[in-house]
Structure 1
């Protein structure tokens, strides 16, 4: 936590000038919230697009011209902030939620398909029937998992002591077998935390599992975008920013943030940046929100902004590997599938969003916490994953692979290890008018799209409160609440 400081000043009759550095979900959200509150907002992004790490690109190959998401991103019904973001940019219908949680889980060792489902019964009974029928655990393991879920429900994610231990140790104390960890707890944890149980903070695991599974019957219902992520987070987000009056500058890399003293006695900041083509620009600001990765924030933060600025570098990173395969026929007959006893973790059918035409099918494999494979050559990954897919999906036998390629996010998220909580700063810094946003800041959530949007909302609210104009507070607090209907 940082010390309280008095509101910064803005001369009467002038709109408050805000500069947001970074056009990912956090920065876009902050810019929209500030503009909605009446600020004069400029958004600076170094890339030629918005969206941060959740973006799309075009690929031309023998399979045709595809629109490819760099990685598969989903959200849950409990992700209320991200759903607000989709509504704000006019994209709610393009990323619908399941009517009711249903996750197909295929065991590669036995060929047996099970499902994680819920009913409309109240918590925790909503998962009881699905767990009782889950074939990948023995009767004793299912009973043990139910007891562990009840024990987990009694834990408070805000308890700072939970962050001092790892999730695996807690599961061991709950007598969860290695099979139960693989077939249930890691199945969920890998996708949400980007870490296996031994490397995950118990506090973050409790937060995810309590909120997603035990806060409301429909909290874990899954939402998947029907359109490319670039349509949502770049095209539609940019249009929303334009309508809100935000000036968006792409290909503009910020290199310094320096304090200024105005002739009218006001205090502020100058954000200096290099533009495309080698030019330079300087943007004056009363408020600056840094919505960039933690390593970039460490580089840009003015001296004195954080009491211990090097602490954020301890967050580290965790990679995600994405395998993309285009077949000449349909081989997967589910929207998505989770796998056990296989190199494959999750498979998604992205044929329609990619624009692929004809009889083929485009599958995207999402491999979390892929430390050992993130730098493997494409040829090695092809030899590993194509046979694994054929083993999982019998229809893939004899199917021709029209395209195979890989996208890598070496620093996809911060590492959610025990001790992470104390490394994550809040939105407010020691310097009036300078604020932080990003999924890595202290949102209480792991590094997800939900965390990114929440951080942007919080940073904008804090900035307005510090400026003495907290007109955004009521809406922000409503969005930040974790309860779901």
Structure 2
């Protein structure tokens, strides 16, 4: 017990250790520090940001993968404000997605009008050239059925989205040209392999709540500038001690009822930290390895949460081949193509595009030469201006465990933030946030974990961000 200058007793310092420096861990550390705790954040990598990061390739700054968010991602936008990075992102004034069919060369658009839900999408759908008139009409009926679903109903998690869509009159072409166009990018799985609960959450929240909910946002600077650079400054300003290249090797109860966290800070070097609060913000398998015995009732469930890969093929052309910030493709292995020229720092003419490929288990380990042979001709089909352009460079980034797999039944495997061990909490996009594995889910998990921790300490909790969402 310490005493103030006036002699009145003050409560002892409360301490916390956050294991993991991704968005979940950064969020938890900022919230705990903001409530007055002395916080240490330990990250095994030499940088912050988890799986949303940048690296140098010659003179270019390359994002490991294309990450986007929607206007309805209120927690992630709160995070951007918290780390003072709002100026480093772009958000569409209105949803507008060019969609090109590589087989026909026709381009349609998924866009919204300034009308109430669901009329805001009606005009775009009526003109959508990739579906027949009957298929377009069937989409409206399925959307109304989707809107009527109760997201709190756990039975939705046991149904696959593809079967549900087929049962509401959605043809294979409709699923491919509309539902999977959006769903694969947000869920990292096709409708047939996605939980109806997670799919309904994505489509209801993004398309059937607020007219602007699905407006797309993206980083207009390298992801590392946001999730490492600005985040590090915010953590420093909050008084968080940030340890990089620091691996957590054990978490045990201490004699005083708190926690001892064992850290490996370098070859032959280690540190033991005492803490009142520990937030474990690492992927599910790492969390399983670190959890003390009895902390989770059924720890084997964490190992049953599958993972799904994301592949990015990066191409540098000698001229401009894409005139929009991004586009989606049909009738081709290519899913989404993004212009990364300005954010990468490419100079001297030319254009840098990134092909973002989700749910590609069959391609994730292919050699670069095979991927080059597969995707360069496809880009010429999707982007006619690429025909005849000189390819200056092609390289590939792979995240083999980019997200958790949103398969039916996964909801019953995702734990909440509170464990059976007082003072120990879980965070990560894979925990039970109600969202698929997105930056939004990661931030929400950090908010949930930190607020449960503060509540356990009897400290005031501000839930306005989560309630607003």
Where does 1:101-140 land on structure 2 (aligned, <5 Å)? Answer: 101-140=95-134
Gaps of 5+ in 2: 1-8
- Which residue of structure 1 lines up, in the alignment, with residue 465 of structure 2? 479
Question: Can you list the C-alpha shifts for 1:369-399, whole angstroms capped at 9, x where unaligned?
Answer: 1100000000000000000001111111111
Look up the SS of the partner of 2:60 in the other structure.
Answer: strand
Distance 2:269 2:354 in 1: 39
Distance in 2 separating the partners of 1:20 and 1:169: 41
CA contact (8 A) 1:211 1:482 kept: no
Paired residue secondary structure (2:91): coil
Distance in structure 1 (CA, Å) of the matches to 2:427 and 2:10: 28
What displacement does 1:12 show?
Answer: 5.5
**Aligned counterpart, 1:461:** 451
| Structure 2 residue 42 is matched with structure 1 residue 44 | yes
Aligned pairs (5 A) from 1:55-454: 55-60=53-58, 65-262=59-256, 267-454=257-444
Which 10-residue stretch deviates more, 420-429 or 276-285? Answer: 276-285
Q: CA deviation at 1:96?
A: 2.2
Q: Find the aligned partners of 1:236 and 1:118 in 2 and give their Cα distance.
A: 33
What is the CA–CA distance in structure 2 between the aligned matches of 1:436 and 1:310, rounded to whole Å? 15
Partner-residue secondary structure (3-state), 2:254 = strand
CA distance in 2, matches of 1:424, 1:198: 20
Indicate the SS of the match to 2:115. Answer: coil
- Deviation of 1:261 after TM superposition, in Å, equals 2.0
- Unpaired segments ≥5 residues, structure 1: 1-10
Match of 1:82, SS state, is helix
SS at match of 1:406: strand
Cα distance between partner residues in 1 of 2:250 and 2:210: 45
What TM-score, normalized to structure 1? Answer: 0.94
Distance 2:260 2:180 in 1: 46
Using the alignment, how far apart are the partners of 2:212 and 2:297 within structure 1? 41
Q: Quick one: distance in 2 between partners of 1:481 and 1:218? A: 19
Give the structure-2-normalised TM-score. Answer: 0.97
> How many angstroms apart in 2 are the aligned matches of 1:458 and 1:153?
26
Q: Tell me the SS of whatever aligns to 1:390.
A: helix
Whole-Å separation in 2 of the counterparts to 1:178 and 1:436: 39
